[in-house]
Amino acid sequence: MTTPRLQGGLQRGLQRAAAHRIVCAVVAAELRRLRDSDSRPTAPEDWLDSTPINDAGLGLDSMEQLGALGALAEAFDLDDSVLSDDPPRTVGAWVDWVLHAHAAGDGRMTVVTSGSTGHPRPCVHAVADLLDEAAFFAGRFAGRRRVVALVPAHHLYGIVWTGLLPDALGVPVVVRTIGTPLGLAAGDLVVAVPDQWQALRRLIRRFPEDIVGVSSGGSLDDDVAAGLLAAGLSRLADIYGASETGGIALRDTPTTATAPAYDLLPRWQLLPDGDGDWRLVDRTGRSFDLPDHIERIGERTLRPIGRRDGAVQVAGHNVWPERIARELRSVDGVADAAVRLHVNGRLKAFIVPTDHQDTALLAARIDQLVTPRLTDPERPKSLRFGPALPRNAMGKLEDWA
């Protein structure tokens, strides 16, 4: 079976190393979901092609094996027609299934994001588009010797930057976890989200020479970027994008202007959409909503000025403060509630109790009833109580300390 190729001899299509990394990340995420915990037999980056799926290896029982098949089918747009006569028994058999289905180079991948209701929503991408994105970034980050992955490969950012990009660069991937030695070396490209960069600014006194970083999954604060560069990071790029679109635009940090400006990736152009609004259009004419209202400040330059859907980013995850506030208002003893992003990157809540409530008991009731219904990024870490929500003279909700 031949593999399609691009002009210049580059392979066109999903390659085995990338497929293996993404497959393992998808299955690991499915196991966490099925087991309702972060426990797993071994780290997915340590799973070899020869590793058995059953008790002799990963320890998946029959239901978990079915769950893994389903998760891979959804992620890689597969069906049972391309399975072999024997069910997959090793990690390599999962990868073979994916590569066989994607051999023609016209496959699709699906990632899942949550909408404003918190319900999972699939976002489908042509693998060719993702490969083009990785090829563009490979040109912008040529000369890297390793990709150091601090993010998993089942989200779109990780798929492109820690799966497809290393293949495009022809370099290995090493997985690291903050809280353990990163072992950085000259030529590394470190892939992380803003909260991780915030932690690294405090953990690393001095970076080795020739370390380049990239950030996505939320806006990167310029003060954080400036601190990292002052500590010796050679370059820090910030990618503006969304699960629905992939990468949209790129900037090097810090930005000298009062707000960050991003340059569009070659795939995109901006077209007017009503009074002062804009839409993304790709080379084929397909149109996409931007995740934010934007200011267009050049032919191919934009500046985000506010989410369309009211979401904020916590630890690289979209969360919706108003949805969380509705959960808080459902608690007996809560008359009103508001939720905002705290300066520390977590959520905070202002609670208006009903009359004669003991706030300590009410806080415990909130923790008991609401916390189990929220994910870690959605849980307010600071509660403030008062007789009324803080508002300005115009009656508009305002921030609180």
Whether residue 241 lies inside any domain: the answer is yes
For the chain, the domain total comes to 3
Q: In this structure, is residue 394 part of a structural domain?
A: no
290 and 354 belong to one structural domain: no
- pTM check: above 0.75: yes
The answer to whether position 111 is within a domain reads no
Question: How many angstroms separate the CA atoms of 196 and 149, rounded?
Answer: 11
What is the arithmetic mean of pLDDT over 382-389?
Answer: 92
Q: Which two tokens stand for residue 155?
A: 């989200």
Residue that terminates a domain, selected from 106, 136, 156: 106
Clarify whether residues 98 and 141 are in a common domain.
no
- How high is the mean pLDDT of the chain? 88
pLDDT at 147 over 70: yes
Residue 239 dihedral angles phi and psi, to the nearest 5°: -105, 125
Q: Are residues 227 and 345 in the same domain?
A: no
Amino acid making up residue 126: A
Residue 169 falls inside a structural domain: yes
257 band by pLDDT with thresholds 50, 70 and 90: low
**Domain closes at, from 286, 310, 334:** 310
Phi then psi dihedrals of residue 330, to 5 deg: -80, -10
Which residue range forms the structural domain that includes residue 194? 125-310
Summarised one tens digit per residue, pLDDT across range 335-378 is 999 999 888 888 999 999 998 889 999 999 999 988 888 988 89
Identify the top-confidence range among 105-119, 185-199, 262-276, 383-397. Answer: 185-199
Domain boundary among 246, 280, 310: 310
3-state helix, strand, coil in the chain (%, to 5): 30, 25, 45
Together in a domain, 305 and 325: no
Instruction: Indicate if 168 and 282 belong to the same structural domain.
Output: yes
Per-residue model confidence (pLDDT) at position 344: 83
* 87 and 220 part of one domain: no
